[in-house]
């Protein structure tokens, strides 16, 4: 990454006090934004997961392990996923990862699904993921996240997480056992703006629960997201920490659409873990990215009784028709370094 005015900006965002004392720098920053030739920084390379190459074996590994959250799911290999029509690229270039929605099963049997991890791990970077559709079905838990080895010890960031018929997304940061990482219960204000805009559910990032945020609008997940044609999620990691944004389809920044993203020009993120509140580089190793559709795992099962879904989670699994909406439709995932 190429940083201009790096020191000035770092002090500007690193604390409210520094920000208030730095009105001059703020004007300088605004001036830079008005001049598109004077960008604060540009990313130097991109790993692109899109189009007919999306499923290339060099990019992803398909997990065939049992669901670590105890789900009633059978994760299939890459060859099986493609052979059985659970992973494919459509003629319009969108990639699809889906649950088997055509086989009926006896009570208690596991249903076929797909869980993939990027072969590459990313350190400081910007992940931009455009989903046309996310899995939304009773008994299903969907996740798009990043983590290091031996979760949660090398950190993890859930960018998309939801289950059953939910339409509100949850963002979560997990830091390893001996790390002290917390987010504030209320977003501090900078210049009258909240520094993040989602609501905090849990402030302690350490361990398996993690610190989490949800979108009160109920537009970032499930049916409401899918009916609106999906949208773009972005995760930025730099020396200041992590930021996560969601953009509805009609408000995707032009710099994202043009493949030259400029997070400095974006509105405040929805979720944020500041390097002031966490030693990010010791808590989070470089992270692989994962797409998962689980069935009756911890997430969907614990939510099930209050989900508005029929019967029990395990009864739901028997009928293939319940899984027609259980699919990721991915326009692209780009990781800028
Ligand atoms: C997968 O990607 C590699 C490296 O870009 C390329 O050489 C190979 O032909 C691709 N495989 C397929 C099946 O497209
Ligand atoms: C990740 O990037 C940061 C900033 O460039 C660097 O200090 C750190 O050593 C990197 N971590 C690893 C494991 O490469
Ligand atoms: C956490 O600290 C304890 C005590 O020092 C140590 O035994 C343990 O291995 C550490 N765990 C990790 C994941 O570093
Ligand atoms: C955060 O959670 C960890 C793991 O459960 C715990 O050890 C630690 O004391 C908690 N920190 C605070 C500030 O509550
Ligand atoms: C990290 O990126 C954000 C863009 O939202 C920027 O405001 C911040 O200054 C960057 N931090 C560093 C250390 O460059
Ligand atoms: C529950 O079952 C009824 C009757 O079969 C059906 O009409 C309804 O759509 C089901 N509700 C859900 C949430 O699946």
Bridge partner residues of 80 (DSSP) = none
Q: Where does residue 133 rank: exposed (0-12), middle (13-18), buried (19+ CB within 10 A)? A: buried
Residue 206 Cα to ligand 3 midpoint, Å, equals: 13
- pLDDT computed for residue 40 by the predictor: 77
Nearest ligand, CA 10? 5
Closest CA to 162 of 236, 103, 213, 101: 213
Ligand 1 atom closest to residue 53's alpha carbon, by position in its atom list: 14
* 194 within 8 A of 331, measured Cβ to Cβ: no
pTM, full prediction: 0.89
Residue 281 Cα to ligand 2 midpoint, Å, equals: 7
Q: Please work out whether the CB of residue 243 comes within 6 Å of at least one atom of ligand 5.
A: yes
Model confidence over 143-191: pLDDT tens digits? Answer: 999 999 998 999 999 999 999 999 999 999 999 888 899 999 999 999 9
Ligand 6 atom closest to residue 309's alpha carbon, by position in its atom list: 13
Model confidence over 212-259: pLDDT tens digits? Answer: 999 999 999 999 999 999 999 999 999 999 999 999 999 999 999 999
Q: Please work out whether the CB of residue 124 comes within 6 Å of at least one atom of ligand 2.
A: yes
Closest C-alpha residue for ligand 4 atom 11: 204
Q: Please work out whether the CB of residue 106 comes within 6 Å of at least one atom of ligand 6.
A: no
Calpha distance 314→151 (Å, rounded): 27
Which residue carries 């979760």 as its tokens? 151
Closest CA to 76 of 121, 113, 38, 39: 113
182 three-state secondary structure = strand
Lowest mean pLDDT among 37-41, 84-88, 173-177, 196-200: 37-41
Closest C-alpha residue for ligand 2 atom 9: 281
Calpha distance 21→112 (Å, rounded): 57
* 79 within 8 A of 64, measured Cβ to Cβ: no
Model confidence over 119-147: pLDDT tens digits? Answer: 999 999 999 999 999 999 999 999 999 99
């Amino acid at each position: 990454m190429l940083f201009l005015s790096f020191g000035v900006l770092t002090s500007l965002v690193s604390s409210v006090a520094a920000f208030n004392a730095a009105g001059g720098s703020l004007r300088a920053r605004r001036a830079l934004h008005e001049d598109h030739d004077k960008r604060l920084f540009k990313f130097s390379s991109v790993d692109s997961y899109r189009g007919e190459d999306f499923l290339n074996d060099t990019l992803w590994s398909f997990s065939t392990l049992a669901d670590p959250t105890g789900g009633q799911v059978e994760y299939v290999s890459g060859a099986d996923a493609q052979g059985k029509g659970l992973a494919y690229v459509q003629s319009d270039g969108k990639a699809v990862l889906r649950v088997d929605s055509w086989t009926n099963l006896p009570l208690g049997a596991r249903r076929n699904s797909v869980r993939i991890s990027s072969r590459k791990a990313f350190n400081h970077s910007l992940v931009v993921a455009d989903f046309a559709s996310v899995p939304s079905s009773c008994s299903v838990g969907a996740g798009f996240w990043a983590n290091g080895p031996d979760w949660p010890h090398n950190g993890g960031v859930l960018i998309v997480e939801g289950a059953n018929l939910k339409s509100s997304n949850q963002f979560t940061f997990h830091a390893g056992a001996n790390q002290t990482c917390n987010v504030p219960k209320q977003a501090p204000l900078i210049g009258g703006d909240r520094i993040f805009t989602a609501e905090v559910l849990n402030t302690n990032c350490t361990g398996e629960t993690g610190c989490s945020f949800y979108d009160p609008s109920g537009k970032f997940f499930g049916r409401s997201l899918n009916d609106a044609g999906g949208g773009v999620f972005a995760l930025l990691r730099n020396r200041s920490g992590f930021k996560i944004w969601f953009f509805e389809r009609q408000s995707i920044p032009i710099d994202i659409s043009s493949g030259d993203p400029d997070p400095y020009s974006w509105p405040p993120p929805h979720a944020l873990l500041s390097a002031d509140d966490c030693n990010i580089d010791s808590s989070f190793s470089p992270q692989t990215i994962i797409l998962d559709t689980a069935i009756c795992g911890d997430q969907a099962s614990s939510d099930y009784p209050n989900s508005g879904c029929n019967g029990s989670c395990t009864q739901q699994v028997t009928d293939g028709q319940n899984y027609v909406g259980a699919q990721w439709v991915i326009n692209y995932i780009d990781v800028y370094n």
